[in-house]
Each structure stands twice: as structure tokens, then as C-alpha cells.
Structure 1
Amino acid sequence: MEIGEDTFVNYECWFNTAGKITIGRMCNIAYKVTFITSTHEIADRVRRAGKPISEEITVGDGTWIGANVTILPGVNIGSGVIIAAGSVVVHDCEDNSIYAGNPAKLIKKL
């Protein structure tokens, strides 16, 4: 896990480090943000959660992630992004944009 210079991480954040997590410089990570880097392959009907896999999460410089956001494996969040509180990020996020919802969707380009 790497956290860039001048980045603020608030209370009760959770970092699943099965895969690498990289957070850029001058970011703000709000209360109770969850970074999930692991999941499972889909298996047969006897046990659907198959072989464990992990994927990296990357957060670009200057990004602001709101309270209670969940970021799923393999997501790349660009620089200067805002993720609204309570969002679930399942896909990559473009630089200088606002995302919100479950799943998080592009709301506005900044």
C-alpha cells in the first residue's frame, strides 16, 4: 500500500491489501471508506465463491472520496475526481469528474 504526500485519511477506513492499493498526493479520504482488492472467481453450484483473486486499486492525485464509499477490485480512479458519499465504485473513473451512486456513474466533468 502506498499513500502519497499530504493525503488525509479519516477514521474507520478499511484497506483490504490482498492487492496493491496506491493513493496519490493531496487526496482526501473521508470517514469509513472501504478499499476492497480481493474477490473470487465464480465456481460451480456446490460453492459459488471459487478461487480467490486480487486486483489493484489506484487513486490519482488530488482526489476527494466521500464518506462510506466502497471501491471494488481493479478500479482506477483518476486525478482530481470527486466520489460522492455512499457511492459504490465498480468501474474506472475519468480525471477531473464527479461520480455518484450505486454503481457510481459519471455525474459531471469538472
Structure 2
Amino acid sequence: MTGTHRIGPGAKRASNPTEFKPVTIGDGAWLGGGVIVTPGVHIGPGCVVAPGAVVTQDCEPDALYVGIPATFKRRLS
């Protein structure tokens, strides 16, 4: 699901219309089980995202990301 909503006023928090933003996953990238990738994020080629991570920002190529939110841990090349 790559849809999201702007936060609206108290009477209707989920604004209309739904905003869709693409997610791109580079060649050779590996996402562990249970990973969540938020709308608009790019995961670089050869990137590894640890199981259970929540990716909220772009991930560099050939790097390891872990945690909630996912953060850079180390280079893999």
C-alpha cells in the first residue's frame, strides 16, 4: 500500500483524496520479513533492510539499515 493521507482537521483526520507515492526497490536489495516501507521511499540497489524495520526515508545502495525507524548501520561493499 503506497497511499497516505494528509492530517486533516479534528472532524476528519484522513483528508481526501488519498495521496499515492511510488516505492522503488533497487536490484539486488533484500528486505527481511515484516519490513514496512512508507510511501515515496527509494531503497538503493544492494541494500539490506533488517527484519521488522520501518523504512521512512531513502536508503543508500549497498548499505545495511535496521530499526524503527530504519537507520543506517554500515556499508556492505
2: CA distance, partners of 1:68 / 1:38: 18
Q: Which residue of 2 aligns with 1:101?
A: 67
The amino acid that maps onto 2:6 is E
Per-residue deviation, 1:39: 0.7
TM-score with structure 2 setting the length: 0.94
TM-score with structure 1 setting the length: 0.66
Q: Which residue of 2 aligns with 1:32?
A: none
Q: What whole-Å deviation, never above 9, does each CA across 1:23-55 have from its counterpart, x for those lacking one?
A: xxxxxxxxxxxxxx0010111111111121010
The amino acid that maps onto 1:50 is S
The count of corresponding residues between Structure 1 and Structure 2 is: 75
Q: Which residue of 1 aligns with 2:56?
A: 90
Per-residue deviation, 1:91: 0.4
Aligned structure 1 segments of 4 or more residues deviating by more than 6 angstroms: none
1: CA distance, partners of 2:69 / 2:20: 20
For residues 5-16 of structure 1, the aligned pairs below 5 Å read 16=1
2: CA distance, partners of 1:48 / 1:109: 39
The amino acid that maps onto 1:80 is G
Q: Which residue of 2 aligns with 1:49?
A: 14
Q: Which runs of 5+ in 1 are unaligned?
A: 1-15, 17-36
2: CA distance, partners of 1:70 / 1:95: 18
Secondary structure of the residue aligned to 2:45 is coil
Secondary structure of the residue aligned to 1:50 is coil
1:39 paired to 2:4: yes
Q: Which runs of 5+ in 2 are unaligned?
A: none
Instruction: Give the structure with the larger strand fraction.
Output: 1
Per-residue deviation, 1:67: 0.6
